[in-house]
Structure 1
Amino acid sequence: MPEPDLVTQALARNLKRLRTERGHTLDALAARSGVSRGMVVQIEQARTNPSVGTVVRLADALGVSIARLLDYDETSQVRIIPADEAVRLWNGPDGGSGVLLSGIEAPGPLELWTWHLRPGETHASDPHPAGTVEIARIDEGELTLVLDGRAHRIPAGSTASYEAGTAHSYRNEGAVDCRLTLVVSVPPPGK
């Protein structure tokens, strides 16, 4: 994993650059994202480590992937991300994790994640922009996906696809660890 300070600095630099490129004031980005102006300022000054939800809302408001917001090396045509440089964005209370493996803009943000949920852990996700689709491949254990208040059990070896424009959560209600690979496809802005 990259040093947390490296990720914080990259987020600060990229957020400010992307906000400026799109002509958004601090107030405008705060309004578009639902993230307070004060929090945007703290992030741009690298004074805070925001939650996954905050980073998702900012990326969605800017029309970019989370990976682009966190990218600390945009110099190569072929981007190879070693396992130890993937960005951990969620830590569960019992040792679970959500790790952003990679992401691109094609034509909207496309992200590849690996998630590890320990028994009893839950991660709640805010709604993504309308038209966002997720594909979850359960590698180990069983995932309980809650979408629109309805629970769906997805066993190991299965793949589920769903629209993620509403609140949803990932739960491990089993006795063994749950590991999954997740693809998130966000439509380009204005679509």
Structure 2
Amino acid sequence: MSDLDQLAQALGRNLKHWRGERGLTLDALAARSGVSRGMIIQIEQARTNPSVGTTVKLADALGVSIATLLDEVESAAVRVVTPEQSVRMWSTSTGSRARLLAGTERPGPLELWTWRLMPGDGSESDAHADGTVELIHVTAGELTLVVDGEEHRVAMGSSAVFDANVPHGYRNDGDAVVELTMAVSLATGG
């Protein structure tokens, strides 16, 4: 079984579990997330690998982190995540990428990411749930952070914090590779 197949199975199992925990029907989760009922069924049956955007919408609607939806094993008191176990969530043919390094539900959903953006590449994100905050630290290059249509330059060694309940994106408008670490504190669902 390929890594992608294992990931699809873990996502399907965890989506079904958290939908049940929240007492949501397929129709209720579809309405809450904006993801079609048919797509949710396909995901729960591990018949598709959804986009990052779809996975984020489902996690937000359930009030859990993406890491929780993709976790293949139950969390232990200490969980070491090797580089091979991190999850590639986004990539381009030019070498840009985003990897989910780790996440936790205690005391609330929290995710840790590493990103690489090649010159000219970028990634857009829909608004997350109210109360979601992103913290970014640029370790190489200069990031163009776009929050609710407003551009902010974040140079190497600098950090940014913002409420992620509005559309936002990350771009590399320069000639050098941009690398950054991101922590996402997700709003708890209800």
What's the TM-score once normalised by structure 1's chain length? Answer: 0.95
Report the count of equivalent residues.
189
Question: Which deviations, in whole Å up to 9, do the C-alpha atoms of 1:32-90 show, x marking residues without a partner?
Answer: 11100011011011111111111111011111110000000115321111011100111
Match of residue 132 from structure 1: 132
SS at match of 1:90: strand
Between the two proteins, what is the percent identity of the paired residues? 57
* Stretch moving more, 123-132 or 92-101: 92-101
Q: Distance in 2 between matches of 1:74 and 1:134?
A: 25
The whole-number CA distance in structure 1 between the counterparts of 2:125 and 2:176 is: 22
**For residues 18 and 107 of structure 2, what CA distance do their matches in structure 1 show?**
17
Contact between 1:10 and 1:70, CA under 8 Å: does it hold in 2? yes
2:83 maps to amino acid: A
What does the per-residue CA deviation read over 1:115-169, in whole Å, with 9 as the maximum and x for residues that have no partner?
1111100100000111211110001111000111111110111111111110000
Residues 75/169 of structure 1: CA separation in 2 closer, same or farther (3 Å cut): closer
For residues 59 and 75 of structure 2, the distance between their equivalents in structure 1, rounded to whole angstroms, comes to: 21
1:149-168 pair list within 5 angstroms: 149-168=149-168
* Secondary structure of 1:56's aligned partner: helix
Q: Distance in 2 between matches of 1:108 and 1:76?
A: 16
In structure 2, stretches of 5+ residues that fail to align are none
Q: Which range moved further: 68-77 or 82-91? A: 68-77
Structure 1 distance, partners of 2:186, 2:75, is: 24
SS at match of 1:170: strand
Alpha-carbon separation, structure 2, partners of 1:156 and 1:110: 24
The alpha carbon displacement at 1:186 in A equals 1.2
What code does the residue aligned with 1:89 have? M
Could you say which residue in structure 2 is the equivalent of 1:176? 176
After TM superposition, what 4+ stretches of structure 1 lie above 2 angstroms from structure 2? Answer: none
Please state whether the residue corresponding to 2:32 is helix, strand or coil.
helix
Distance 1:177 1:15 in 2: 35
1:52 counterpart residue number: 52
SS at the partner of 1:134?
strand
The residue type paired with residue 136 of structure 1 is I
CA separation of 1:108 and 1:75: change in aligned 2, threshold 3 A: closer
In 2, the alpha carbon distance for the partners of 1:185 and 1:127 equals 14
- Using the alignment, how far apart are the partners of 1:6 and 1:95 within structure 2? 24
Q: Tell me what 1:78 maps to.
A: 78
| Cα distance in 2, alignment partners of residues 167 and 107 from structure 1 | 26
Pair 1:103 & 2:103 matched? yes
The reply on whether 1:24 has 2:48 as its aligned counterpart is no
CA RMSD of aligned residues (A): 1.2
Between 1:139-148 and 1:73-82, the stretch displaced more is 73-82
User: Which residue of the partner structure matches residue 123 of structure 1?
Assistant: 123
The Cα of 1:92 is off from its aligned counterpart by 2.1
